[in-house]
Amino acid sequence: MQNTVQTIPAAFIEPKPAVVEDRTVTYPLRSGGFLAVDCPAWCTADHADDIERGIDPVDLQHTGAPISLGFDDVDGERETILEARLVQWPFDPDGDTKPHIDLTPEASSGESLICRNRIELDEQIRRVRAHLNELIRLGDRLAQAQADDHAERAAARGTGKPWLSLSRTDVQSMPIAYLLKAFGVRAVETEDIGRKAVLALVGEPGAMELRMLPDLPQQLREDQTRRALLAWHDAQTSSRG
């Protein structure tokens, strides 16, 4: 008798069930007895205090890991500006038992905004993005304000060499247009730059020449110009050290 091998299409193979972690937590009730509840997979609370002290069902809260935006204050302590996390009160007396998002500005206040669905959360995301865009524009105003202040101080000193008082952070952050003026740089479009180069800075401050390819995109021009000025600044700092 000839042996045969029967091939079963993958679509008809019964998949093995995934191993599911038992997340059932049993809480002692303050009124007597016990309450067994499945803890959601997203909940990161250990519920240790609830188990130790006992609870009323309405006080049971599931909480996910926080997503925080914060900063370190002058004492090195971490402060939170905005915190978000998944929250659920499975036995809410008002029947609002679904998971939701708690958005908490300045977390120490304890006040939070409840987003009950993805649409409400998306509205807050749009507001945060709009605030981020405003911060970006504010950063541009800061850079220009610092450039204007530097120009005034340099003029008051009357040395005619404003680049001498530029710090590395200034070169990293001030507007390119001001840095070119401060360093006395003349921009020239030319194909004669050198092999594999797209931009070259030659000469000394006050009479520098910035040579760049004619078809170089504006953003790349600014990035490469800042790199070149930083390289010059670092080289001068190193030689003085």
Task: Give 133-156 as a 3 state SS string.
Answer: HHHHHHHHHHHHHHHHHHHHHHHH
SS3 (DSSP) at 104: strand
* pLDDT score, position 1: 43
Domain ranges across the chain? 18-116, 137-240
pLDDT in tens, 169-207: 999 999 999 999 999 999 999 987 776 778 999 999 999
**pTM of the full predicted structure?**
0.73
Q: Find all residues with CB under 8 Å of 173, minimum gap 6, and list them.
A: 143, 146
pLDDT in tens, 80-130: 888 899 999 999 999 999 999 999 887 666 678 999 999 999 999 999 999
**The pair of three-digit structure tokens given for residue 109, joined into one six-digit string:** 């206040």
Residue 231 backbone dihedrals phi, psi, to 5 degrees: -60, -40
pLDDT at 8 > cutoff 50: no
